[in-house]
Amino acid sequence: MSNPEPKGRRLHDLSPEIFQQILTDLDPESIKALRLTTRTLAEKCLGPRDQLIQPVLDFSPQNLRALYALACDPVLSPKVHSLTFLATSLEFRELEKSIEVGYYEEVVVNGPIWSREEVDYTPEELDKAQAELRWLKEQQEARAAESPSEMVELLQRALQGFGALQSIRLDGGIVRGRGRTKREPPGYKQWKPLWERASQVLSWVLTAMVQTGVSVRDLDVYYNTDRCCIPVDEIAALAAGLDQSQRELFGNNLQSFQLSLSGALKDAHVEKAEEGKEEVGEKDEPLEIQFLFQSASALRELDLRFRRTGRLETLHCYNYIIDNISKKTQFPMLEKCVFAGLAVKEESLLLFLRKHPNLRSLSLHECHLSSGSWTPIFTHLQSMSRLETLSLSNLFGKHMQNRKYEQQRYGSSSSSSGSSTSELEIEEDDEQEVDGMVVLLPIWNVPSEDRWAGWLTEYPHSNGRAVHTRDFTREELAKGLVFRPLAKGPGRAIGSAQGMNWRNSRQELYAPLIDEKRQLPVNSVILTCVFSALLALINVGSETAFNAVVSLNVAALMFSYAISMSCLIWRKLYHPEALPPARWGLGRYGLAVNITGLVYVLPALFWFFWLSELPIAADTFNWSVVIFVAVFVPSLVMYVVKGRREYEGPVTLVKECGHDR
């Protein structure tokens, strides 16, 4: 009688899919124990495929040699299905400066409040910082000595060993030390070196891929990397450097292509030019970036994001990107598409949509229409029978508005829903073509009971709700893409945390990377300076008027101080537990300082309204009290009657949204 078959042999006979499912259900300790039973299981039980750590490596000769060693391993190399190459920029100036002064800055976060504290180096920390600085400089010297041909050759040898490779992802960031594994996005001083390194790494990877005949299913070119892009002219140069056979080889198996683009670096100089002196014209020769992926006949996902490097006026010069893609490419199997930050023409976008009727998911974010109108595009999107999800955000350009459906002004009883029937809706259609942001509030909108549902999708406007982002399902598309415009007439965006979040998010994704110190409300500063200078000229014509303006300015300042300090004193005395955390405080002396300040402010406020001399005459009268009361009393009445029911301060918004925790 033969011996029974060992239990381990039963696992060997299972199909790879079932075997992987079994590993998925086991805990790590059980997998380790199973590997100890037989040599065959030791090779197969490396863990579930989706839990295996795929190689992520900085692009350097030593790392590529290590990758080649992994490719030569007959057990591990078949398990590698994804490679991530990092394009990093080495930043050591900040570390060098902190070593010189003997301290470093540490960010302390307390809820929504953060501050920087100077921390002196301990001897151990100083030794570690000096070692990191030496390592950074050594890496910088080694990088300067890199040979492009050697880098491509090393990568070619490694890629040939990964027969199951399906995905290549390019990522990057700023590296400030050997011990810091987390990469940081570049600031305004570091983005150019990082972008240059990113372009270099992309060039080496593409060259190695086409020379070795490697074609992957998924390719991510810095699409999910913060503040990292490839300039459009460099992408076009890379594509032009490939012949037709290499392009076909590159796109042979490509199913998902994600690319983060930017304008040409020379556009950044427009930011420094004086406004109005340099005109932005059309590009003489459109760049052919579509050559890179136009041979990908099996492409199912195409994601393109564009970041400006110059003023907004330069964006329309790049409308040829979508124009060339729509005219010179066609992907029969395309199901998902994302266009973000791009300038488009009506005829180009419509042509692209007509050539790809099988789209199931479409995202148009921060798209500026350089010619035509959005209305025909919306009509066509509504007619696409296979489109399941449509994401629209920040669409700018000409479009038709029907005043029959215009919103109520901010503060009216129906403005909160944006869908109540008004007297205007019983009138005939009143369609007008306007130019600006498309308000994405459909006429069939059902108001949400959640007060904060629109926190990230709209901001308050004096003429209604400025809905800038909206996602639509297939059922919602069947209802139509007709939107409610803002109420007609002069209006403005109401200062709010939503509006600030909207502007900041757009700037983070699509605006040029400039000096944070220059990210100021320049127009407001200039306007304030101009008015201050004009008011100062009053002294030339009338000393009485000048004294009244100066007195009124100081009195208003004292009055605002009095209100804020009174509220703070009241809160400290009766509800100290409700005070939010602050960056710094005076402890038990804080209340005494607040009371002392209030005692100083109130008499100052009184005396700034006092008469300068007796008897009273028109040229010696203190007119500031008249102007102050004439403005203060109507404002107070308006607040009591209307404003207190509508105004919600930013502190209240932040607290109710939970951002103070």
Q: Please, what are the averages of pLDDT over each run of 10 residues along the chain (661 residues)?
A: 47 67 72 71 59 82 93 88 94 89 82 74 91 91 93 95 94 80 77 94 96 94 94 94 92 96 80 44 70 94 94 86 95 97 96 96 96 96 95 96 87 48 52 92 85 82 90 94 88 78 90 64 78 73 75 85 89 79 72 91 83 73 84 88 70 45 39
Kindly state whether residues 574 and 620 are assigned to the same domain: yes
Kindly state whether residues 535 and 646 are assigned to the same domain: yes
- Domain assignment of residue 606, yes or no: yes
Q: For the chain, what is the total number of helices (H) and then of strands (E)? A: 24, 17
Positions of E strands within 462-607: 464-467, 469-473
Query: Which phi-psi region, left, alpha or beta, contains residue 213 (left: φ > 0; alpha: ψ -120 to 50)?
Result: left
CA nearest 374: which of 327, 447, 434, 421?
A: 434
- Domain assignment of residue 166, yes or no: no
- Domain assignment of residue 604, yes or no: yes
Q: 302 to each of 198, 223, 258, 333, 382, how far by Cα in Å?
A: 20, 11, 6, 11, 21
Scanning the structure block, which residue is given the tokens 């200039």?
Answer: 526
Rg (CA), the chain: 32
Q: What is the number of domains present in the chain?
A: 3
pTM of the model: 0.74
- Domain assignment of residue 25, yes or no: yes
Query: Among 477, 496, 518, which residue terminates a domain?
Result: 518
Kindly state whether residues 566 and 609 are assigned to the same domain: yes
- Domain assignment of residue 54, yes or no: no
β partners of residue 319: none
What is the Cα–Cα distance from 377 to 346, expressed in whole angstroms? Answer: 7
Kindly state whether residues 538 and 620 are assigned to the same domain: yes
Query: Among 471, 489, 518, which residue terminates a domain?
Result: 518
CB-based burial label for 63 (10 Å; 0-12, 13-18, 19+): middle
CA angle 396, 402, 407 (to 5 degrees): 85
Note the Cα 218 to chain centre separation in Å: 23
What is the Cα–Cα distance from 471 to 391, expressed in whole angstroms? Answer: 4
What is the Cα–Cα distance from 447 to 463, expressed in whole angstroms? Answer: 18
Kindly state whether residues 504 and 600 are assigned to the same domain: no
Domain that holds residue 40: 7-44
Kindly state whether residues 543 and 626 are assigned to the same domain: yes
pLDDT of residue 583: 57
Kindly state whether residues 529 and 569 are assigned to the same domain: yes
Kindly state whether residues 494 and 533 are assigned to the same domain: no
Report the chain's terminal Cα–Cα distance, integer Å.
72
pLDDT of residue 314: 81
Kindly state whether residues 513 and 602 are assigned to the same domain: no
Kindly state whether residues 572 and 540 are assigned to the same domain: yes
β partners of residue 363: 338, 391
pLDDT of residue 204: 97
Query: Among 466, 487, 518, which residue terminates a domain?
Result: 518
pLDDT of residue 617: 74
pLDDT of residue 73: 86
pLDDT of residue 422: 44
Return the DSSP state at 493.
Answer: B
Kindly state whether residues 598 and 475 are assigned to the same domain: no
pLDDT of residue 11: 66
- Domain assignment of residue 585, yes or no: yes
- Domain assignment of residue 467, yes or no: yes
Kindly state whether residues 531 and 586 are assigned to the same domain: yes
pLDDT of residue 22: 74
- Domain assignment of residue 242, yes or no: no
